[in-house]
Structure 1
Amino acid sequence: MYRQGKKRDIVTDFLPPTFAEFKKSTEDFKQLNELLSPVMLSTLETGKIVRGLTGIPDKGPILFVGHHQLLGIEELSLFDVVSVYGGVPVSPINMYKLLEKNESVLLYPGGAREVLHRKGEGYRCFWSDKQEFIRMAARFGVTIIPFGCVGEDDILEIAIDYNDQKNIPYLRDWIKSFNADLPSVRDTVIGEDGNQVLHLPVVLPKIPGRLYFLFGKPIETKGMDNLLMDKKLANDLYLHTKSEVGNLVSYLKRKREEDPYRSIMRRTLYRAILGASAQVPTFKP
């Protein structure tokens, strides 16, 4: 929903969803939520991991920084829900406007290269060598929340990836033609890590597993104006944030093995006994 006018600013003219829209989107995702039973964890300032979102600050500006799973599965949307809730195209200008308004921003530095990763590249971060967001975060004293999410490998498996498709003449030519008409996607990254050729991998469904999300310990940039001018300090914080994301992913991959309800059969049985709205237990953080 946007204000009426001759010109529309995608950031400043945004109107939050109404209660009816919120209720509808909740209903739209109800079955998906029950199917995947996402586990939400956050980290307190003490470093303690707890279930729920207690560790996330309730005041902005906040920058959530994480990695994409296959096909962006952690962002599944129906009926354009992402836009309804304030999703905007990725650009420095939009990010600047949002942080200036003390909003929360969700950023995936790996972009399309992570969404369309190849076989054997699951949960690998494909980030640029440039500090794409650190200086802007310092400019507004943003709280950076690194996060990790795992579970797409319990739901989908890549059968034919880009490396396979580029060896098939017809598909190779079609992908080349399709990408020729598109603007360059983050071409500042050099080498294979920057190869963000847009294509559609062939995936096979698996018996639905479970999604796990872990929001890490907040990283404060307030009062760190030296990051604006000192490239080394900015790069150190950039690498630290990237490392934190990787550590959170590793933690979830390890701990989900201890989840007695990782199997959809056990989750279904649990809800059948205690009711569909019951929160299914998970591993002990």
Structure 2
Amino acid sequence: GGGGGSPFGAFLESFGAVPVGGFNMHKLLAGGEVVLLYPGGAREAFKRKDEKYKLLWPERAEFVRMAARFGATIIPFAAVGAEDGVNQVLDGRDLAALPIIGESIRKRASAVPQARRGVSASTSPDLEESFIQPLITLNAPQRFYFVFRAPITTTPDMAGDRAACDALYARVKGEVQGGLDYLLAARERDPYADLGRRLVY
């Protein structure tokens, strides 16, 4: 979503981004717009060092329920490459635990409005949103791999069926995980995955 008035937020909004939240998603779907959603949000964007390509989605299936309300089609999507382009020197936990400056980092992070509130808030401490950007160094440019999985249809009658929404949510997440697994395996077979070979070619 958009960035709440920050320069980076304005940059994202120039590409059509909006602040993340149920209201904006409802408004976009009601208007027949296409919505690109990253269910893992900030928690998944600012991963820890041992979480490469790990899905960190919230427990509740709220976006599936919203999609079903409008009979929207969900297209699972996966990408590989970005997380290999950087090396995490210190992740959010490391930075928050630093002597002297750790407390200041934690205070600044806690002042950022949480995107997930109410029913969307995580009940798992491990999935709580973290707005502490890791300290990184750049690796050699990586080749990016993308895959779109088979479309998944929804119907308005599913919106009121919690069991159906939970099952659909698990299916969507499974499709994304399947896409990641497929791409990681495909990269291992790609003779031009390495930058040096691509440059020579």
Q: How does 1:25-44 map to 2 (within 5 A)?
A: none
Question: Which has the bigger relative contact order, CA under 8 A and spacing at least 6?
Answer: 2
| Match 1:215 to one of 119, 128, 148 | 148
User: Match of 2:200, as an amino acid?
Assistant: L
Query: How big is each residue's C-alpha offset from its partner over 1:92-131, in whole Å with a ceiling of 9 and x where there is no partner?
Result: 1211121122211000111000011101101111111111
Does residue 191 in structure 1 map to residue 121 in structure 2?
A: no
Query: How big is each residue's C-alpha offset from its partner over 1:140-161, in whole Å with a ceiling of 9 and x where there is no partner?
Result: 1111000111112431111111
Q: How does 1:54-133 map to 2 (within 5 A)?
A: 82-133=12-63
More divergent stretch after superposition (159-168 vs 240-249) = 159-168
TM-score (ref. length: structure 1): 0.63
TM-score (ref. length: structure 2): 0.87
Q: How does 1:270-281 map to 2 (within 5 A)?
A: 270=201
More divergent stretch after superposition (232-241 vs 206-215) = 206-215
Secondary structure of 1:121's counterpart equals: coil
Q: How does 1:227-246 map to 2 (within 5 A)?
A: 227-246=158-177
Contact 1:175 1:199 in 2 (8 A): yes
User: Match of 2:37, as an amino acid?
Assistant: L
Q: Distance in 1 between matches of 2:9 and 2:95?
A: 30
Contact 2:43 2:129 in 1 (8 A): yes
Aligned to 1:267: 198
Please report the RMSD computed on the Cα atoms of aligned residues, expressed in angstroms: 1.9
Does residue 256 in structure 1 map to residue 187 in structure 2?
A: yes
Q: CA deviation at 1:87?
A: 1.4
Q: CA deviation at 1:198?
A: 1.3
Q: Which runs of 5+ in 2 are unaligned?
A: 1-7
Q: CA deviation at 1:180?
A: 3.5
Distance 1:81 1:162, change over 3 A: closer
Aligned to 1:159: 89
User: Match of 1:227, as an amino acid?
Assistant: M
Q: Distance in 1 between matches of 2:170 and 2:17?
A: 26
The alignment-based identity, stated in percent, is 39
Distance 1:134 1:247, change over 3 A: same
Count of aligned residue pairs for this structure pair: 191
Q: CA deviation at 1:193?
A: 2.8
Q: How does 1:201-212 map to 2 (within 5 A)?
A: 201-212=134-145
Q: Which runs of 5+ in 1 are unaligned?
A: 1-77, 271-285
Q: CA deviation at 1:79?
A: 10
When Rg is computed on C-alpha atoms for both structures, the one with the higher figure is 1
Contact 1:150 1:249 in 2 (8 A): yes
